[in-house]
């Protein structure tokens, strides 16, 4: 069963947007808004400002990096939602079997969206697809497990940026900072971690998959691109 044009177009737009964010990050690096080496120094000194980094520069970097990262996660979540709806409208049989509905096999986008989302916010998880899509159309099964795990970690970072609560920070420290050997008590904000590179710590978390010459936020962009390409069977 071939993939519908809507899905192919979803991924084409998604990967095009990723390229734009990559270019933006490269320009920020060229302008040396802040040097990744300084970020590494901050991490290993427990967030004590190094001489070359001013408070104003740090604020600008925080706004830029965290803003880009939030947009990246939102872009991914939007792709997941669009793909699930686009594929569900092609074949509703698995959903009907699981939940006891009677629907035509093929339905319109508007009806598919109304059934799956309605007038409420829904945050689709990758595992939701198995309860909605027929096996032949479940392209989420093609994403390698290690990629899925890293995307889950991205959501932990996103929640810390967006909510900055005690709960979100505890989860961020447990699932993210501990992977990089950050000492307990060192409060490392997400943008510091995202802008750094060659981080010491758990080699299996990110470095086994991607070049250590990139900043972490660039690596996350690579991860999202690989996820998208795997779903289409391109890797």
> Locate tokens 């990262």: which residue?
69
What local confidence, expressed as pLDDT, does residue 38 receive?
53
The size of the chain, in residues, is: 235
pLDDT at 158 over 80: yes
Query: In the chain, pLDDT over 70 holds for what percent of residues?
Result: 75
What local confidence, expressed as pLDDT, does residue 188 receive?
78
What local confidence, expressed as pLDDT, does residue 73 receive?
96
Could you tell me the pLDDT band of residue 27, with boundaries at 50, 70 and 90? confident
As a whole number, mean pLDDT of residues 67-89 equals 96
pLDDT at 212 over 80: no
What local confidence, expressed as pLDDT, does residue 63 receive?
82
Q: How far apart are CA 2 and CA 9, in angstroms?
A: 14
As a whole number, mean pLDDT of residues 48-62 equals 59
Each residue's pLDDT tens digit, 104-157: 999 999 999 999 998 777 889 999 999 999 999 999 999 999 999 999 999 999
What local confidence, expressed as pLDDT, does residue 204 receive?
42
As a whole number, mean pLDDT of residues 34-47 equals 50
What local confidence, expressed as pLDDT, does residue 181 receive?
63
- Chain Cα centroid distance, residue 77: 8
- What is the average pLDDT score of the chain? 82
Could you tell me the pLDDT band of residue 30, with boundaries at 50, 70 and 90? low
Domains in the chain: boundaries: 5-231
Could you tell me the pLDDT band of residue 43, with boundaries at 50, 70 and 90? very low
């Amino acid at each position: 069963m071939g993939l519908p044009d809507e899905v192919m177009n979803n991924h084409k737009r998604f990967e095009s947007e990723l390229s734009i964010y990559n270019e933006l990050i490269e320009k920020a690096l060229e302008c040396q808004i802040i040097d990744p080496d300084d970020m590494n120094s901050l991490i290993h000194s427990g967030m004590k400002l190094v001489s070359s980094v001013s408070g104003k520069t740090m604020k600008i970097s925080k706004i830029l990096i965290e803003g880009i990262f939030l947009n990246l996660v939102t872009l991914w979540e939007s792709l997941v939602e669009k793909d699930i709806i686009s594929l569900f409208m092609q074949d509703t049989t698995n959903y009907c079997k699981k939940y006891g509905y009677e629907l035509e096999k093929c339905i319109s986008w508007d009806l598919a969206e109304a059934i799956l989302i309605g007038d409420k916010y829904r945050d689709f998880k990758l595992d939701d697809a198995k309860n909605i899509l027929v096996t032949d159309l479940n392209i989420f099964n093609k994403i390698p497990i290690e990629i899925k795990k890293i995307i889950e970690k991205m959501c932990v970072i996103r929640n810390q940026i967006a909510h900055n609560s005690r709960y979100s920070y505890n989860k961020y420290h447990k699932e993210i900072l501990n992977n990089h050997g950050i000492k307990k008590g060192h409060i490392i904000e997400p943008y510091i971690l995202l802008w750094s590179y060659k981080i010491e710590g758990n080699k299996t978390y990110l470095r086994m998959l991607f070049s250590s010459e990139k900043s972490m936020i660039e690596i996350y962009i690579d991860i999202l691109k690989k996820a998208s390409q795997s779903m289409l069977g391109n890797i």
